Amino acid sequence: MEKIKISFPDGLVKEYDKFTTLSDIAQSISPSLRKKSVAGYVNDVLYDINRKLVNDSFIKLITVDDEEAFEILNHSTAHLLAHAVKRLYPEALFWVGPVVEEGFYYDIDLGGVSITENDLLIIEREMQKIIKENIRIERVELSKKAALEFFENDPYKLDLIENLDENEIITIYKQKDFTDLCRGPHLFSTGQIKAFKLLKVAGAYFKGDAKNKMLQRIYGISFFKKEELDNHLYVLEEAKKRDHRKLGKELDLFMISEYGPGFPFWLPNGMILRKQLEDFWYKVHTKEGYQFIQTPIMLSKELWEISGHWYNYRENMYTSEIDDYDFAIKPMSCPGGLLVYKHSLHSYKDLPLRVGELGLVHRHEASGALAGLFRVRNFTQDDAHIFLRDDQMVDEIANLIQLFEYFYSVFDLKFHIELSTRPVDKYIGTIEIWDKAEKTLADACKKIDKAYIINEGDGAFYGPKLDFKLRDSLGRIWQCGTIQLDMNLPERFDLTYIDSDGEKKRPIMLHRAIFGSLERFIGIITEHYAGAFPLWLAPRQVDIIPVNNEYHLEYAKEIKEILMENNIRIDLDDREEKIGYKIRESQIKKVPYSLVLGDKEKENHEVTYRHYGKQESHTISLNEFIKLLNEEIKNKGQ
């Protein structure tokens, strides 16, 4: 038998028979390794575990512990799903079934039939049957011509094949009565799929284009171990419990009326949150040398024509008429901010000029896009416009990034930075200016050693930007902060400053926001903290619970007075209820401190507190307690 040389990651080289497989090689090392292996890299190309090796190769096995294994498993589970759907709905046609971060999905055309959540159980059962049948999954290579013939009755697969290279070797994967076009690799057999769950069914446009017809998409996830699946489902349940829409209702933070879809109402508790965030924002920005303005919600159409919004983004703007003139409600605060800049003359000595505005903006969002506070039709942007000279840019942006970092650290939120570059066609200005602007943003990151990833072509039409992406408790990424370099508006509005040589010069403009939207940010931190806000944010900071109203209410009122004088947000529960009842309610409302006051406390002018989520109680003097609260508020729970 002809031999081939196989080399391993640890440098070892061994000889094997030609046509050996990764499975054989794994077996030769140890039977347990064979069991754990699902595929492998052969000279950096992914191979199925049973694909025959014909040349000397460098191999790296992929075992169930590797990230790639999760992808292969989920990919094979997507095929299993399609297989089951094909058995239950013989007319079904399949588009693509890729692996995504949260498992896999498959886009299916079922003609007139529509699948509901209940059908998912039936499909799952069919999938289980196919697993039991333990069907071998076979890889077959075809020429493009042969592939076109094979799928001649499947318009979706033909579409895919036609877009493949003429000389490319096309592979299909066959599992008994089901065959799918696929690059692979796949598991060895359907029996290797152990723990999966179909999660949701939804519509999805063919090729992601709203002009195309809608296919049905089934989402699922697959794991090698049942415990992993159970854990995943548990996490999903937990995430549901933290949903800010649910917590917002339970904690009376906000409401959204059917009379105003996408227009949130702030309830007293939510207002306290907002106020704290706003105060914090003003405090930090004042220290950073910002000034503040407020510009009108509604301005003449002519202004929006100058800014370009009227032509570019009119569909998202609400409009109205005043005395026969068209007006628009602002979707952004910048045009108003520019009018303020033009209101007075500026010297080069004034730059950078930092002007902040918590501005309420309105944007028409599609009805299907609305979601709690995460996607609304009016929201408060923590906007600021910075007017500066070319030579000030890198420093200013670097400082900004550090400011953003501090801000997010206060909320213990992780983030990463993306640099969005020039869009392919919809952009203004010259490529030279764009390149320079992009380099400026990159240099600022480098200056303070901040990593960033490039988001090719995702810049605004008027300039590149740095986007700050936060990760929320559901693992979703939300863009909050943004630093945008604007090469458009200063020109359009003819902004100038008087330089040291007495000449008028054009300033450069930065738009930036840290919260992004105050509303959405509150939604994010509500989920992040699971509603148990740190003391400085908590709508109600301390609950006072007298043991017996008859004997302790006076003392409780006295304590309440003193705490209120210390600016503590407090509630005295003087209802005729048992302590347990009141403690329970205090905990359900996630109030940071519950104070129980009885004989013992009254006698020594003390308080007994219990921290949210903790069982034990502590008795200390009132003064110590106030000190403790003030410290905690000052440190913002850091």
Partner RNA sequence: GCCGACUUAGCUCAAUUGGUAGAGCAACUGACUUGUAAUCAGUAGGUUACGGGUUCAAUUCCUGUAGUCGGCACCA
Per CB under 7 A, contacts with RNA among 325-344 are 331-332
Identify which of residues 9 and 203 has a Cβ nearer to RNA in the complex.
203
Identify which of residues 173 and 379 has a Cβ nearer to RNA in the complex.
379
Q: Has 627 been annotated as catalytic?
A: no
Does 363 interact with RNA (rule: CB under 7 A)? yes
Residues 6+ apart with CB under 8 A from 597: 544, 545, 546, 547, 552, 555, 556, 559, 607, 608
Q: How many CB atoms lie within 10 A of CB 571?
A: 16
Q: Has 334 been annotated as catalytic?
A: yes
8 A C-beta contact, residue 397 and residue 444: yes
Does 424 interact with RNA (rule: CB under 7 A)? no
CA distances to 142, 144, 151, 164, 329 from 171, in Å: 6, 9, 12, 11, 55
CB of 207 to RNA, least distance (A): 9
CB of 107 to RNA, least distance (A): 9
Does 111 interact with RNA (rule: CB under 7 A)? no
CB of 203 to RNA, least distance (A): 3
Catalytic pick among 385, 422, 540, 590: 385
Distance from C-alpha of 185 to C-alpha of 139, rounded to nearest angstrom = 8
Does 245 interact with RNA (rule: CB under 7 A)? yes
Does 239 interact with RNA (rule: CB under 7 A)? no
Identify the DSSP state of 166.
Answer: T
Among residues 406, 411, 408, 383, the alpha carbon closest in space to that of 483 is found at 383
Does 2 interact with RNA (rule: CB under 7 A)? no
For the CA atoms of 296, 297, 299, 301, the dihedral, rounded to the nearest 10 degrees, stands at 160
Where do runs of H (alpha helix) occur along 411-473? 431-447
Residues 443-462, mask of contacts with RNA (x by CB under 7 A)? -----------------xxx
CB of 441 to RNA, least distance (A): 15
Identify which of residues 280 and 310 has a Cβ nearer to RNA in the complex.
310
Q: Has 381 been annotated as catalytic?
A: yes
Does 309 interact with RNA (rule: CB under 7 A)? yes
Distance from C-alpha of 293 to C-alpha of 331, rounded to nearest angstrom = 17
Q: Has 543 been annotated as catalytic?
A: no
Query: Total residues contacting RNA (rule CB under 7 A)?
Result: 69
Distance from C-alpha of 312 to C-alpha of 315, rounded to nearest angstrom = 8
Does 368 interact with RNA (rule: CB under 7 A)? yes
Does 375 interact with RNA (rule: CB under 7 A)? yes
Q: Has 83 been annotated as catalytic?
A: no
Catalytic pick among 34, 465, 540, 582: 465
CA 97 to chain centre: 23
Identify which of residues 356 and 546 has a Cβ nearer to RNA in the complex.
546
Distance from C-alpha of 61 to C-alpha of 63, rounded to nearest angstrom = 6
CA distances to 364, 412, 453, 486, 621 from 480, in Å: 19, 14, 16, 18, 42
CA distances to 106, 199, 226 from 68, in Å: 19, 22, 19
Identify which of residues 40 and 546 has a Cβ nearer to RNA in the complex.
546
Among 158, 360, 371, 626, which residue interacts with RNA (rule: CB under 7 A)? 371
Identify the DSSP state of 502.
Answer: S
What single-letter amino acid sits at 419?
Answer: L
Among 143, 448, 581, 634, which residue interacts with RNA (rule: CB under 7 A)? 581
8 A C-beta contact, residue 508 and residue 490: yes
Does 198 interact with RNA (rule: CB under 7 A)? no
Q: Has 511 been annotated as catalytic?
A: yes
Does 605 interact with RNA (rule: CB under 7 A)? no
Does 205 interact with RNA (rule: CB under 7 A)? yes
Tokens of 618: 């502590």
What are the φ and ψ backbone dihedral angles of 561, each rounded to 5 degrees?
-55, -50
User: Which of helix, strand or coil describes residue 630?
Assistant: helix
Among 121, 202, 233, 448, which residue interacts with RNA (rule: CB under 7 A)? 202
Does 367 interact with RNA (rule: CB under 7 A)? yes
Does 268 interact with RNA (rule: CB under 7 A)? no
Q: Has 75 been annotated as catalytic?
A: no
Among 17, 117, 149, 230, which residue interacts with RNA (rule: CB under 7 A)? 117
Q: Which residues bind RNA (CB under 7 A)?
A: 114, 116-117, 200-205, 208-210, 214, 216-217, 243, 245, 249, 256, 258, 261-262, 309, 312-313, 316-317, 331-332, 363, 365-372, 375, 460-462, 547-550, 576-581, 583-584, 587-588, 594, 596-601, 608, 610, 613, 615, 617, 619
Give me the active site residues, please: 334, 363, 381, 383, 385, 465, 511
